[in-house]
Amino acid sequence: MQQLYCNQIQRVSINAGPRNEQLYEITRELLNPDLNYVNIRNACAALLNFFCGITGFDPEDKQNQEHCSTAAGLAVSPYAAMSCITDMMRTRNFMMGIQDAILSRRQQYPRDPVLVFYAGTGPFASLLIPLTTVFTPDQLQMVLVDINPISTACVQRIVEDLALQPYVKAIETADATQYKIPEQYQPDILLTETMKAGLLKEPQFTICAHLLPQCKKDPILIPESIAVGLCISRNKNKELSEKKSLASLIRLDRELFDQSLVAQDALKRILEGVLVQFPDDLLDNQHKIVLETSIRIFRAHQLKHNESGLTIPVLLNSFLQECHPLSTWRFRYRISSEPYFEMSKE
Ligand SMILES: C[S@@+](CC[C@H](N)C(=O)[O-])C[C@H]1O[C@@H](n2cnc3c(N)ncnc32)[C@H](O)[C@@H]1O
């Protein structure tokens, strides 16, 4: 299925300006199924330059570096959001996954354009705007939302400069954790990448929890699934480490918010906490306790261990030293201005 989709990459010619052409060349490289790290890195750097050139975005400007705090997590600054492009496997795999999700939805509903609701675009809506070079407005429509007005102003500039208005239903400055989805913006695909490894600090969880129950068209959620687990890892030598999984703490997917009894139980387990029994005998100073994150973007498109900043292990550093002997602990996901895991001894 994946190969079939990737072979379908074609330049669409509704906008034939030199900038659209340049964007197509970058996009083609990022959607290329043959893995070439140098090419991907260069394409991500070119994409960043491309958007900076259009918007005149100044990374040194202090305003572009200010984070914004909300009750459900940190909205990172436009500068930090922009920098995500250079997390190259993240950018490439998301873009490929979104492309396949659009194609899959079109197979299901061939007559209608696919509406992507993008919550947390950053200043460049960089995971979606490039796909306007391979889909027509009859195939792809978008609603672009960010809490930061600097970001939405940049996105507006990009849309105007590239004449992408036919693709765009709306650009809105709004908090996605409070947003009420109007009937005409009901998504086929709900896209949000508002997270750090371990689902810490940023509001991905609450954005999904707030938006998904409002969706009526059974949308594809991207990422389809984010799993956070607790592991013990031990370095064997410089390259190799042993890893032992201790517990699954969160699986964030569409089903978690479908109101079923199973979903209610799963949600309760996350928010009330997961009990973890530590094997005392296994632990010494060579062992580390870490949060591991794995991300399925769409079907075969994933981000595996260490492949991206989103899937690096998060070391619960002092935990092991301070709490030894460890026995049984509760790990509870807490939504706050910087979501975190509260750890308490049972
Ligand atoms: C990690 S950046 C990702 C940017 C972009 N999606 C990308 O992948 O390159 C997260 C973005 O989400 C926005 N954001 C965070 N919380 C938000 C919220 N509650 N509502 C709307 N946007 C939010 C931030 O302002 C930031 O631009």
Query: Where is 265: in which H helix or E strand?
Result: helix 261-272
Domain count for the chain = 1
Angle, CA of 46, 224 and 180, to the nearest 5°: 90
Dist. CA 139–CA 60, nearest whole Å: 38
244-263 tens-digit pLDDT: 899 999 999 999 999 899 99
Cis amide linkage into residue 325, ω under 30° from 0 = yes
Q: Give the structural domain span for 97.
A: 2-223+251-271
For ligand 1, pick from 30, 68, 121 the residue to mutate: most ligand atoms within 8 Å of CB.
121
Distance 146 CA to ligand 1 centre (A): 6
The three-state secondary structure class of 317 is helix
Looking at the domain assignment, is residue 139 inside a domain? yes
Average pLDDT over residues 277-297: 83
Looking at the domain assignment, is residue 108 inside a domain? yes
Looking at the domain assignment, is residue 202 inside a domain? yes
* 3-state SS track over 202-259: CCHHHHHHHHHHHCCCCCEEECCEEEEEEEEEEECCCCCEEEEEEEEEEEEEHHHHCC
Looking at the domain assignment, is residue 93 inside a domain? yes
CATH of the domain at 64: 3.40.50.150
**pLDDT band at 49, cuts 50/70/90?**
very high
Amino acid present at 86: T
DSSP alpha helix (H) spans, 56-178: 78-83, 88-108, 149-161
Side-chain half-sphere CA neighbours of 35 within 13 A:
4
Q: What is the pTM of this model?
A: 0.95
Tell me the pairing of strands 287-298 and 301-303: antiparallel
Closest ligand 1 atom to 94 CA: 8
112-159 tens-digit pLDDT: 999 999 999 999 999 999 999 999 999 999 999 999 999 999 999 999
Looking at the domain assignment, is residue 323 inside a domain? no
Distance 29 CA to ligand 1 centre (A): 25
Looking at the domain assignment, is residue 152 inside a domain? yes
First to last CA, the chain: 47
Looking at the domain assignment, is residue 327 inside a domain? no
**pLDDT band at 281, cuts 50/70/90?**
low
Distance 76 CA to ligand 1 centre (A): 7
- Residues having CB closer than 6 A to ligand 1 are 70, 75-76, 81, 84-85, 119-122, 126-127, 145-148, 151, 175-177, 193-194, 203, 207
Dist. CA 27–CA 114, nearest whole Å: 19
At 234 the pLDDT is 79
Handedness of CA 151, 152, 157, 158 (dihedral sign): positive
Strands (E), the chain: 68-70, 73-75, 114-119, 140-146, 168-173, 189-191, 220-222, 225-235, 241-253, 274-277, 287-298, 301-303, 314-315, 328-334, 340-345
Looking at the domain assignment, is residue 291 inside a domain? no
